[in-house]
Amino acid sequence: MSTIRNRAPAPQHGYVLITSLVLLLVVTIMAISMYRSFGVQEQIAGNLREKGRALQAAEAAEQYAEQWMLNGNGALPLVNCNTLLAATPSNNVGQICTNALNEPTVINVPWVTGAGAPVGTTYTPTGFTTGSGQNLFYALPAFYITSLGISADGTGTVYQVDAVGYGGTQNAVAVVESTYIVGSSTTCVSCQQ
């Protein structure tokens, strides 16, 4: 006759349960880290986009100002700038100022006089829209032209062109500056034979 022996079950130590809980904790921490990282990367990408938009707007205003001077407006009388003008690609508006935007004034935007009145010339590129919402700009780009006098070689007049552009918010701002010489070429008539 055979005897059936009942063995007592081996005591369970819970290693599988502890290991599973530790792995679950590690996976949860990794998922939370990735989620936060994606959020930060999205914010960085949005900030870079707005910075690029602001820079493009400022460069558009700067290029308009330089082209405006090349079209013969560099010979206009100099004025003490204390008003804000409005330019578009079709109306040929601008002004050349005797009062310069000095550091740190040039980086404090919008540019204002001592009395708090806005100065410079706003520029509205074709298709440019301001307001609030997706793909809109916070404000119009603007430029400010200052005459720095005759060039060192005496062949033209030196101008400083400051321009500011905004992205979608007032915090997305780009300020660009160029020094521009407007003059005419000189030909030596007595040298030609």
- The per-residue pLDDT for range 12-25, each reduced to its tens digit, is 777 888 889 999 99
pLDDT, position 102: 65
Q: How far from the centroid of its chain's Cα atoms is residue 111's Cα?
A: 16
What is the arithmetic mean of pLDDT over 130-150? Answer: 83
Kind plus residue range of the DSSP H or E element containing 57: helix 15-70
- The pTM (predicted TM-score) of the whole model is 0.72
Strand partners, 164: 142, 175
Joined tokens for residue 80 = 């003490």
Average pLDDT for 58-69: 90
Using alpha carbons, select from 99, 100, 94 the residue that is nearest to residue 76: 94
> Taking 70 as the threshold, does the pLDDT of residue 189 lie above it?
no
pLDDT at 186 > cutoff 70: no
Q: Which residues pair with 86 in a beta bridge?
A: 122
Domain ranges of the chain: 38-184
Task: Tell which wins on pLDDT, 100 or 27.
Answer: 27
